[in-house]
Structure 1
Amino acid sequence: MAELLYESTRGAGGKVTASQAILKGLAEDGGLFVPETIPALPMSLRELSQLSYQDTAFAVMKQFLTDFTDEELRSCITNAYDEKFDTKEIAPLKEADGSYYLELFHGSTIAFKDMALSILPYLMVTSAKKNQIKNEIVILTATSGDTGKAALAGFADVPGTKIIVFYPKDGVSPIQKKQMVTQKGANTFVVGIHGNFDDAQSGVKAMFGDKELAAELDSHGYQFSSANSINIGRLVPQVVYYVYAYGQLLKKGVITEGEEINVTVPTGNFGNILAAYYAKLMGLPIGKLICASNENKVLFDFFQTGAYDRNREFLLTSSPSMDILISSNLERLVYRIAGSDAGKDAALMKSLSETGRYEITDEMRAQLSDFCGGFASEEETAKEIKTVYENTGYVIDTHTAVASFVARSYRKTSGDRKKMVIASTASPYKFTRSVMKAIDAKYDEMEDFALVDVLSEISGTAVPAAIEEIRTAPVLHKTVCETAEMKNTVKAFLGIEA
């Protein structure tokens, strides 16, 4: 099998192997690593439909991670997708109200980030060995709620690693916060910042680009890597579940081999829908990729107008993991529609950094016909939760509801009747207050953990272990800092004098 190499969207640094791209996280020029070409699916759709989740993961990831041996990749997959997930299917499909909800929340932190962050630590440790890395790897990450906990759970006590997570102190749900600040593990560090997710993400990116800091870390035996969706080791595992979902529909006889499906994805950082696009480029029969936004609808506006503009009010919504105005992964798509022209991409990203906006050309816009955008207001999101529950008894979380509403609207306005897969990105138990209040306003009087029990009762589902664990867990992380102090906070944690 020919080796697949990776390049930066901004052109510097030459080609690197998959393991080198995973270790670096972000390219030296601030660009994101992308494969030189998108590989094809390795077997027929019918053959893929007969595979378990783990075997699907091997078949897909092997095409991207060509410098991993079969044994190394199998070991990473086996360690990732095991009893940490509460179902053997790993990512089951549930039919409800005319759509197929791809449940991506059966991992240890009950959100879709587990799908990639269960395997990333193993990919990273394997990559470090392959490249004779002697330094300890410091995972530095910003989170809008879910990545943080999933990364902490994945890397906790993994030898040769430390993990530092920054989150907006007042910008995550109470359960998301409790999940992070109760995280065990001698190598874990959680910091609340005075600011929003974009502030946290910008602070982290600045540290990645800080050459002096890199040298200082190196002299103390450390080097940074990222668990954010900017890391290609996060993106590749996400491609898997779209291939698996298609296989499950085929296996169940819902579709015929080669029949196109549509996919709706709630997204803020664009990684999850980009993974679906990569699956389509590999040969998976996907018709429309429907990008669902909440009231922070910067992506919707981009698909409508071709202009990406983050100069707007940042809104706190009931779907906080999508409260993002700088969609980092969109750069990978922009690079592709710019004809893989690193100069063009770098100029657009420079404009974003300096003015907060950029505009793509008409030729580039013409290549976005696979995508369409939609958004849901807070009122529409709540109404969708109630509608789906009243029609079917199925309870969805706020992020999934954004996608569900957008999918419903798309079907109505387009008349497109293809089977619809909706990426269900979090368990309703993660956002119980918003979910239960949407079903009936009377629930807003109850406290969070009482709501958990009522949700279990009305949905006929067991309370996930992730929630049971934090009911009584002690708070272990109390650090809070200003965005300007993020670098010194990192150095202090690593025992480097500021």
Structure 2
Amino acid sequence: MELQYVSTRDASEVVSASQAILKGLANGGGLFVPTFIPKMDVSLEDLSKMTYQQTAYEVMKLFLTDFTKEELENCINRAYDAKFDTEEIAPLVYADGAYYLELFHGSTIAFKDMALSILPHLMITSARKNQIKNDIVILTATSGDTGKAALAGFAGVEGTKIIVFYPKDGVSPIQKQQMVTQTGDNTLVVGIDGNFDQAQTGVKKMFADEDLKKELDAAGYQFSSANSINIGRLVPQIVYYVYAYSRLLANDKIKAGESINVVVPTGNFGNILAAFYAKNMGLPIAKLICASNENKVLFDFFRTGVYDKNREFILTNSPSMDILISSNLERLIYRIAGEDAKANAALMQSLTTEGRYEITPQMRQALQDFYGNYSSEEETGQTIHDLYEKTGYVIDTHTAVAAGVYGKYKAETGDETPTVIASTASPFKFAKSVMTAIDASYAKEDDFALIDKLSEISRVEVPRAVEEIRSAPVRHKTICAVDQMPQVVRDFLK
């Protein structure tokens, strides 16, 4: 049975996998979800003998059913290659009672590389499948990591252009430098006077603007997205949870069928949703632990059943999680609403008009697999400090949010289930925050000055991605107001 994709807001909009990847966002602002979640058709024992690339094929073939074996293997092999600095692609490191799944060994040292290395190949293959003549314009908002990973993936790819909007005062110095030094004539990076939620809302409005679509079509362009709203981002993320389980099994850390917990530092909810999908495919995951920073809208949602973005937006040292509208949560809401597009659309409309919605008691019952908590700025810094002092292992601020929340979960429950923590970024990406947490005397130095010291104390080489931007010229200097975003797009595509 061929798996298709349906809009979370309109049951009549059903498309193939390749069409969902090309569109990015469904009509009326909905997100594409699979019509059913397929079950894994290889055993856990067989998976334990596979490489990352082989595991990726076994997972992705079940979701991307209109891709041939040759097409999918070609996309996978071109994505997961020498651009990753470890042979294993996503190694597991044991430290202080948990397994850290290092998802930051790609070309931009953040977990977004895991999906954005393959998305351009999936998209170009999808365009050929659907006889698309227009150039594809990737339109993306970023809270710091998606932007650079998408730029790196699409730079120089024929038949595409990519425009990235970021909050000009809401990313780390290294995140910003990575973006504004990006090469490639088909790339544009724009800082906005606003926060990530405003950037993301601005992008969604452009996707929904029919007049702008017609204007672009006449000029030979069409929009698609590299944000985690694109199902082509979500499916590759399922892979590394399956792979992490297979590594634990291969290394005799667990027995086949034994459950694990997964902890994910969460902003836009895509990464933990991928773990939820893996669980529903049959991967033995017990608890999905959702870790928030001080923008704890998700913690409050799991605690009360009310999603309420009407609150102060806090800039933290884990900026990729500084989000109050967690777009991918809509995919989970649709599922727990009984896959009722009308019910889901009504909740999303309430979020748009009132900034909040409340789920039913029955829907809350369907969230038993999730545990939510948050880590304050002080607690996050303390987690980095304590883990380093205890083990010598250095983690970034986002991973520390997850580790801190895992500590709270264990204290509350006493649960000793083997646990994988998604380590979503290299500490080098947030060098000042990390080094200041380890030793407050570093507070006066800037990120770039601290890179070599971080390398020395962690006994890890400075990543190539950081070395490359130290002296790279700034190529992107455009700043605009939120309401100027459509005009910036028009000017770039002239």
SS in 1 for 2:56: helix
* Residue 448 of structure 1, CA deviation: 2.2
Q: Output aligned runs, 1:478-489, within 5 Å.
A: 478-489=477-488
2:220 equivalent in structure 1:
221
SS in 1 for 2:15: coil
* Residue 446 of structure 1, CA deviation: 2.4
Q: Output aligned runs, 1:338-377, within 5 Å.
A: 338-377=337-376
Counterpart residue type for residue 321 of structure 1: S
Structure 2: how far apart are the matches of 1:318 and 1:58?
Answer: 36
Q: Output aligned runs, 1:295-374, within 5 Å.
A: 295-374=294-373
SS in 2 for 1:162: strand
2:451 equivalent in structure 1:
452
Q: Output aligned runs, 1:346-425, within 5 Å.
A: 346-425=345-424
TM-score in terms of structure 2 length:
1.00
SS in 2 for 1:54: helix
Offset from partner CA, 1:132-183 (integer Å, 9 cap, x none): 0000000000000000000000000000000000000000000000000000
SS in 2 for 1:29: helix
- CA contact 1:396–1:428 (8 Å) conserved in 2: yes
* 1:104 and 2:94 matched: no
1:243 equivalent in structure 2:
242
Structure 2: how far apart are the matches of 1:99 and 1:61?
Answer: 27
2:24 equivalent in structure 1:
25
Structure 2: how far apart are the matches of 1:475 and 1:54?
Answer: 35
Q: Output aligned runs, 1:5-24, within 5 Å.
A: 5-11=4-10, 13-24=12-23
Q: Output aligned runs, 1:36-435, within 5 Å.
A: 36-435=35-434
Q: Output aligned runs, 1:454-469, within 5 Å.
A: 454-469=453-468
Offset from partner CA, 1:475-497 (integer Å, 9 cap, x none): 000000000100000000001xx
* Residue 409 of structure 1, CA deviation: 1.1
Structure 2: how far apart are the matches of 1:305 and 1:492?
Answer: 45
* Residue 415 of structure 1, CA deviation: 0.8
Offset from partner CA, 1:220-277 (integer Å, 9 cap, x none): 0000000000000000000000000000000000000000000000010000000000
Structure 2: how far apart are the matches of 1:192 and 1:447?
Answer: 21
Offset from partner CA, 1:20-57 (integer Å, 9 cap, x none): 00000000121000000000012111111111000000
* Residue 12 of structure 1, CA deviation: 5.0
Offset from partner CA, 1:279-307 (integer Å, 9 cap, x none): 00000000000000000000000000000
* Residue 408 of structure 1, CA deviation: 1.1
TM-score in terms of structure 1 length:
0.99
Structure 1: how far apart are the matches of 2:151 and 2:235?
Answer: 20
SS in 1 for 2:162: strand
- CA contact 1:12–1:29 (8 Å) conserved in 2: no
SS in 1 for 2:334: helix
Structure 2: how far apart are the matches of 1:46 and 1:307?
Answer: 41
- CA contact 1:381–1:402 (8 Å) conserved in 2: yes
- Structure 1 segments of 4 or more deviating over 4 A? none
* 1:35 and 2:31 matched: no
Deviates more, 1:461-470 or 1:10-19: 10-19
* Residue 13 of structure 1, CA deviation: 4.5
- CA contact 2:293–2:376 (8 Å) conserved in 1: yes
Structure 2: how far apart are the matches of 1:448 and 1:332?
Answer: 37
Count of paired positions: 494
Counterpart residue type for residue 20 of structure 2: A
Structure 2: how far apart are the matches of 1:13 and 1:77?
Answer: 31
Counterpart residue type for residue 63 of structure 2: F
Counterpart residue type for residue 231 of structure 2: I
Structure 2: how far apart are the matches of 1:220 and 1:13?
Answer: 29
* Residue 207 of structure 1, CA deviation: 0.1
- CA contact 1:13–1:27 (8 Å) conserved in 2: no
* Residue 444 of structure 1, CA deviation: 1.6
Structure 1: how far apart are the matches of 2:13 and 2:228?
Answer: 22
2:472 equivalent in structure 1:
473
Counterpart residue type for residue 457 of structure 1: E
Structure 1: how far apart are the matches of 2:181 and 2:73?
Answer: 32
SS in 1 for 2:449: helix
* Residue 3 of structure 1, CA deviation: 1.1
Structure 1: how far apart are the matches of 2:446 and 2:251?
Answer: 41
The alignment-based identity, stated in percent, is 71
* Residue 450 of structure 1, CA deviation: 2.3
- CA contact 1:12–1:28 (8 Å) conserved in 2: no
- CA contact 1:13–1:28 (8 Å) conserved in 2: no
Structure 1: how far apart are the matches of 2:174 and 2:414?
Answer: 39
- CA contact 1:102–1:422 (8 Å) conserved in 2: yes
SS in 2 for 1:368: coil
Structure 1: how far apart are the matches of 2:100 and 2:154?
Answer: 28
Structure 2: how far apart are the matches of 1:267 and 1:303?
Answer: 13
* Residue 219 of structure 1, CA deviation: 0.1
SS in 1 for 2:278: helix
Counterpart residue type for residue 229 of structure 1: S
- CA contact 2:430–2:447 (8 Å) conserved in 1: no
Structure 1: how far apart are the matches of 2:11 and 2:446?
Answer: 52
Long gaps (5+) in structure 2:
none
